[in-house]
Amino acid sequence: MSFLLLVSSLIASLTGAPADIRPAQETTTEPPLSALLQCRSEPSPLIRLDCYDRLLDKVDNIAVIPLEKTGPAWRQAMEQEMKRTDHSTGFITTQSEGIPTRVILTTPAIGVLPPRPVLMLSCIDNITRIQVALAKPQDSGTVMISTDITQFSADWFLRENGYLLESSRGLPGIEQLKRLMTGHTLTIKTGNGSQITFNISQLEQAVKPLRTACRW
């Protein structure tokens, strides 16, 4: 069972009444711990993702995120990730043809079971944004951001009922994004102690359309 298919059907259901949206459900059949640990020990992020996905094919019920509690930015990130047809972790980029140009980059978290958080970088209305669509709501926007090059703390905003982490927009967000551009992996440690890691090895090249659109 694919989490993206679940999200796709749920997003489609938003055109109907809120009652049509199923509440979150807990997994009733879980992969064995030994199998999860074996996946976790895989050194390659891509092999690790594939290992987790194969385990989930055997799971009967996967937790469903209640979409009535999420918002448009969260859905934008998840919808863009639905275009991914393999287990790659490079950035997917979409760019509008209108004025002002709208550029959106997304990449999924690595080394975790679905539903996976999604890192979304964007230039919308000439404003640079760094956002993370979360699988579970958070209650604190304080984050520790680290790459293999740099580390710093920041107070990000919690939006969309705690399902979206967002940096300060504009110049502060640009400065934070610049600090990430030479890294290979990005790890965000949230206020509750959980860690989310993303592959950003292609960021410096991938972010060029965004920089052009937002003129920095």
In this predicted model, what pLDDT tens digit does every residue of 51-89 receive, in sequence order?
776 776 665 555 568 888 999 999 999 999 999 988 899
> Residue 20, by phi and psi: left (phi above 0), alpha (psi -120 to 50) or beta?
alpha
The CATH superfamily of 71-214 is Invasion associated locus B (IalB) protein (2.60.40.1880)
Q: Where are the domains of the chain?
A: 3-56, 71-214
The region of weakest confidence among 44-48, 72-76, 139-143 is 44-48
Higher model confidence: residue 214 or residue 23? 214
Q: For the segment 144-182, what is each residue's pLDDT rounded down to a tens digit?
A: 999 999 999 999 999 999 999 999 998 999 999 999 999
Is 101:23 a contact under the CB 8 Å cutoff? no
Regarding pTM above 0.85, the answer is no
